């Protein structure tokens, strides 16, 4: 089979207005082209965008010799309600915006001629999402060409059936009889068999000397499968999953505690465009910041994300959907799940099956349906169906324990009446579902929500659904863990969504109790939409805290929207024993000011001691360390010692003065076990343009350039702020902006504002050679440039 990129030379236009067409390269997010309005019904969900419907068009020249092949188009993701036309004839329709689909165009093409491929994507049916969805063909498109006699698409399924010796079973599905050969050249192994009259073939391969796949050693092999002229390759990892109430969850007989993070599908300032480079970068950032697992919230992840997880040894919990049959927004997918879930889940399993990083499926998120008999039955049906498709992987579902109780009393439950009120006045709408819980948590705080989950009705209203899944998915239920482990002797508990502040408590509990499978913090990386839900913002960066027009991001990430790790990430790494010690400082200039509320922000501290003009002002300094006692010094003078209390964090009240801020951690014998320092920047300010990578590949490569104000030694100056204009040669500027959750500018422009002294530019190469980025701070009259090699 040939796999041909079908991503260049498209045009995109507002449906019905072809005169507005622009040239685009896929993946592409058309929602970034749309205007924002403070009366938009999308509101806080999409960041006040007013979405349009968009069409994409491309000419496909079908070679004459294609007549002897089968030609299929594979769309990895279109948001949403996509219709595909070939030469004006309807070829396919796909409702769900996060599931890839295949279109057999063999009989629709004109061979030896140009053919018109037209794709229409709908997104005016608002509101239809709780977060920023993007619009259009936001994931890649491929042409698959196969001989008439071929292996079916997704017709290869590989299972590890033994570790000693390493042995795999390869099941192959073809469209006819014939010889099937499987080989792994690196291991010098080859086996063959014959497909029967129904096109089924099965081969067992003993792989002496093969290395196993694990998070610490993610060894992959290329499996080649041949059937006549059809040749396929699958990248596989050899590993076996086990889970039970005695040893918990294990990979290759070794217990693994999931230190997980929830991630959305968007790529920050690039919108929803699913660039392979960006998806890989996101997974790399999660791993670098202490996480060994991710949860694809709340929809199936991209193919590139799976490849990145396989190669980096990051475990994947792939999730199906955000609602079952109770709406969370008026036009979401809820009405389609009951009729479509078998088709959708099969597509999910087909995509994931051969990826060793995928260790679990999730059927949903915060589905209050699980408090109802109908929902419990549906939960069980989906679990059983997934087991029938893939017996090797466990199934979970994230249940918001407290909200299940509240929903049965009528709080936060969707109704058509509420939806109509929302359309009439979005600013007076009544939040429902997860948004209702988020708002309540913002008012009452994380501790209250975790307390609510301990109430007796919460147990009653979740036990039925928990019994119908392999891992009981607790959203914000850590206060129940110890009690429920005693009450339900065979229950395996997964923290499917948690607060950052619970990281230390979770890991200590999990070390002692194997039935605690893991934890997925909300969230690992910040994302667009659900604006302000996790943000502590000050008036200097957000003129009001209403989360109205201008607010674009959630502010919920341990890593910010541009990919910068925050002090919460440092705390998490210390809690997970990935880092010895770190210092976080509440921005001194704002330490006494009110900020926007959120339960999802543990702290807004940053690793900086450079706050020019803030001398003698009060602030708080946090030190993270697994220590008996921690001492803080300012310019070699001790500011006192503190002992962590059931945590790895202490807080000091400090008066700011420039110099060296130093933290020292001691064991119970007074011996120094770790220390670290922050230094004040020098007076002179410079603008720096710093590439994340010195060289990238022409194919799929992107240049990420961090723009920041520093001193001459490279020490960040977070209080410096200016608009920066960016010019690019050798490439296309595809994203420019800062991490600020309130950002009224467009990410598609050539001027950005900075946030705590930083911004980010992303450039797609247009040719081999080099990309040159020139940045100018428009008021400070500072300039910087960066060069990235394109190979």
Average pLDDT over residues 52-72: 97
CB 695, CB 788: distance < 8 Å: yes
State residue 11's pLDDT score: 98
User: What does 292-339 look like in DSSP terms, one character per residue?
Assistant: SEEEETTSPPPHHHHHHHHHHT-EEEEE--S-SSS-SSTTSTHHHHHH
Task: Report how far residue 379's alpha carbon sits from residue 383's, in angstroms, rounded to the nearest whole number.
Answer: 6
612-628 tens-digit pLDDT: 999 999 999 999 999 99
Q: In degrees rounded to 5, what are phi and psi of residue 747?
A: -75, -10
User: What does 627-668 look like in DSSP terms, one character per residue?
Assistant: SSEEEEEETTEEEEEE--SSSSEEEEEEE--SSEEEEEEE-T
Task: Report how far residue 236's alpha carbon sits from residue 163's, in angstroms, rounded to the nearest whole number.
Answer: 14
Other Cβ atoms less than 10 A from the Cβ of 216: the count is 10
125-152 tens-digit pLDDT: 999 999 999 999 999 999 999 999 999 9
Q: What SS3 class is residue 778?
A: coil
Q: Is the pLDDT of residue 431 over 80?
A: no
Q: Look up residue 682 and give its DSSP letter.
A: P
Task: Report how far residue 352's alpha carbon sits from residue 358's, in angstroms, rounded to the nearest whole number.
Answer: 6
Name which of 147, 127, 130, 340 is nearest 230 in CA terms: 147
Q: Is the pLDDT of residue 304 over 70?
A: yes
Q: Which two tokens stand for residue 645?
A: 């209390």
Q: Is the pLDDT of residue 436 over 80?
A: no
Q: Is the peptide bond before 249 cis (omega within 30 degrees of 0)?
A: no
26-59 tens-digit pLDDT: 999 999 999 999 999 999 999 999 999 999 999 9
State residue 105's pLDDT score: 98
Q: Is the pLDDT of residue 446 over 90?
A: no
CB 775, CB 719: distance < 8 Å: no
Q: Is the pLDDT of residue 422 over 80?
A: no
The strand pair at 672-679 and 660-666 is best described as: antiparallel
Task: Report how far residue 761's alpha carbon sits from residue 785's, in angstroms, rounded to the nearest whole number.
Answer: 12
Name which of 193, 186, 188, 177 is nearest 225 in CA terms: 193
Q: Look up residue 739 and give its DSSP letter.
A: S
Task: Report how far residue 241's alpha carbon sits from residue 221's, in angstroms, rounded to the nearest whole number.
Answer: 18
State residue 530's pLDDT score: 95
State residue 419's pLDDT score: 64
389-416 tens-digit pLDDT: 999 999 999 999 998 898 888 887 777 7
More confident residue, 409 or 153: 153
State residue 21's pLDDT score: 97
319-362 tens-digit pLDDT: 999 999 999 999 999 999 999 999 999 999 999 999 999 999 99
For the chain, the first-to-last Cα distance in angstroms comes to 27
Average pLDDT over residues 596-619: 94
Q: At what angle do helices 433-444 and 401-408 cross, to 10 degrees?
A: 110
State residue 106's pLDDT score: 97
HSE (side-chain half, CA atoms, 13 Å) at 510? 25
Average pLDDT over residues 277-284: 98
**pLDDT bracket for residue 445 (50, 70, 90):** confident
State residue 409's pLDDT score: 84
For residue 765, the Cα-to-chain-centroid distance in whole angstroms is 25
The share of the chain scoring above pLDDT 70, in percent, equals: 98
526-547 tens-digit pLDDT: 999 999 999 999 999 998 888 9
Q: Which residues pair with 516 in a beta bridge?
A: 493
Please name the residues in contact with 109: beta carbons below 8 A apart, sequence gap of 6 or more. Answer: 60, 62, 66, 71, 86, 87, 115
Q: What is the mean pLDDT of the chain?
A: 95
Q: Is the pLDDT of residue 728 over 80?
A: yes
State residue 435's pLDDT score: 75
Quick one: CA dihedral 410, 414, 417, 418, positive or negative?
positive
Task: Report how far residue 610's alpha carbon sits from residue 614's, in angstroms, rounded to the nearest whole number.
Answer: 9
State residue 430's pLDDT score: 63
87-105 tens-digit pLDDT: 999 999 999 999 999 999 9
Task: Report how far residue 441's alpha carbon sits from residue 453's, in angstroms, rounded to the nearest whole number.
Answer: 12
């Amino acid at each position: 089979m040939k796999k041909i990129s079908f991503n260049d030379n498209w045009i995109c236009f507002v449906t019905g207005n072809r005169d507005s067409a622009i040239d685009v390269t896929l993946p592409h997010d058309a929602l970034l082209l749309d205007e924002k309005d403070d009366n938009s019904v999308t509101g806080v969900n999409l960041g006040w965008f007013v979405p349009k419907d968009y069409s994409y068009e491309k000419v496909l020249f079908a070679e004459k010799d294609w007549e002897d092949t089968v030609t299929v188009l594979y769309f990895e993701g279109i948001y949403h309600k996509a219709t595909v036309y070939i030469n004006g004839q309807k070829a396919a329709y796909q409702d769900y915006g996060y599931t890839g689909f295949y279109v057999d165009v063999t009989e629709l093409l004109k061979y030896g001629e140009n053919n018109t491929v037209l794709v229409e994507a709908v997104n005016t049916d608002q509101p239809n999402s709780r977060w920023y969805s993007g619009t259009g063909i936001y994931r890649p498109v491929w042409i698959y060409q196969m001989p008439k006699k071929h292996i079916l698409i997704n017709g290869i399924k590989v299972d590890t059936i033994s570790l000693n010796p390493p042995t795999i079973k390869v099941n192959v599905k073809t469209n006819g009889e014939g010889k099937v050969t499987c080989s792994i050249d690196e291991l010098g192994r080859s086996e063959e068999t014959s497909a029967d009259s129904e096109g089924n073939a099965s081969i067992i391969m003993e792989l002496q000397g093969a290395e196993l796949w694990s998070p610490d050693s993610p060894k992959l092999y290329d499996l080649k499968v041949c059937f006549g002229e059809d040749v396929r390759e699958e990248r596989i990892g050899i590993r076996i999953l086990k889970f039970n109430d005695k040893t918990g969850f294990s990979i290759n007989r070794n217990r693994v505690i999931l230190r997980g993070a929830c991630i959305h599908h968007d790529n920050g300032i690039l919108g929803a465009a699913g660039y392979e480079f960006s998806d890989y970068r996101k997974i790399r950032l999660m791993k670098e910041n202490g996480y060994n697992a991710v949860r694809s919230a709340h929809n199936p992840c991209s193919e590139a994300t799976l490849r990145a997880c396989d190669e980096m040894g990051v475990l994947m919990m792939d999730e199906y959907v955000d609602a079952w049959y109770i709406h969370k927004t008026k036009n979401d997918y809820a009405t389609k799940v009951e009729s479509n879930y078998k088709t959708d889940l099969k597509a999910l399993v087909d995509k994931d099956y051969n990826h060793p990083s995928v260790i679990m499926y999730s059927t949903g998120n915060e589905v209050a349906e699980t408090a109802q008999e109908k929902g419990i039955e549906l939960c069980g049906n989906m679990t059983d169906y997934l087991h029938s498709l893939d017996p090797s992987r466990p199934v979970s579902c994230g249940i918001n324990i407290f909200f299940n109780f509240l929903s049965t009393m009528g709080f936060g439950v969707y109704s058509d009446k509420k939806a109509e009120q929302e359309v009439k006045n979005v600013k007076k709408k009544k939040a429902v579902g997860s948004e209702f819980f988020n708002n309540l948590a913002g008012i009452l705080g994380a501790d209250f929500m975790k307390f609510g989950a301990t109430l007796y009705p919460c147990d009653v209203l979740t036990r039925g659904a928990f019994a119908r899944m392999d891992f009981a998915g607790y959203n914000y239920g850590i206060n129940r863990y110890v009690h429920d482990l005693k009450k339900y002797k065979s229950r395996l508990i997964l923290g499917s969504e948690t607060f950052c502040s619970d990281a230390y408590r979770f890991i200590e509990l999990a070390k002692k109790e194997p039935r605690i499978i893991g934890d997925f913090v909300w969230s690992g990386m910040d994302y667009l939409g659900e604006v302000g839900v996790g943000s502590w913002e000050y008036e200097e960066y957000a003129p009001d805290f209403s989360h109205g027009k201008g607010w674009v991001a959630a502010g919920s990430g341990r890593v910010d929207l541009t990919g910068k790790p925050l002090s919460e990430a440092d705390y998490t790494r210390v809690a997970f024993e990935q880092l010895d010690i770190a210092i976080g400082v509440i921005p001194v200039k704002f330490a006494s000011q009110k900020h926007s509320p959120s339960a999802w922000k543990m702290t807004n501290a940053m690793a900086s001691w450079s706050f020019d003009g803030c001398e003698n002002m009060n602030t708080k300094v946090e030190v993270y360390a697994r220590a008996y006692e921690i001492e803080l010094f300012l310019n070699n003078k001790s500011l006192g010692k503190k002992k962590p209390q059931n945590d790895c964090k202490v807080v000091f009240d400090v008066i700011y003065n420039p110099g060296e801020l130093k933290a020292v951690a001691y064991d119970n014998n007074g011996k120094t076990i770790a220390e670290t320092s922050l230094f004040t920047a020098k007076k002179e300010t410079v603008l720096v343009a710093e590439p994340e990578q010195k060289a990238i590949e022409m194919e799929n490569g992107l240049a990420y350039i961090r723009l920041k104000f520093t001193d001459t030694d490279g020490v960040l100056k977070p209080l410096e702020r200016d608009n920066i204009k960016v010019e690019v040669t050798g490439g296309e500027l595809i994203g420019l902006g800062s991490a600020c959750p309130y950002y009224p500018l467009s990410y598609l422009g050539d001027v950005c504002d900075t946030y705590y002294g930083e911004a980010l530019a992303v450039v797609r190469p247009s040719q081999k050679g080099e990309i040159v980025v020139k940045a100018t701070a428009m008021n400070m009259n500072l300039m910087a440039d960066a060069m990235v090699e394109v190979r």
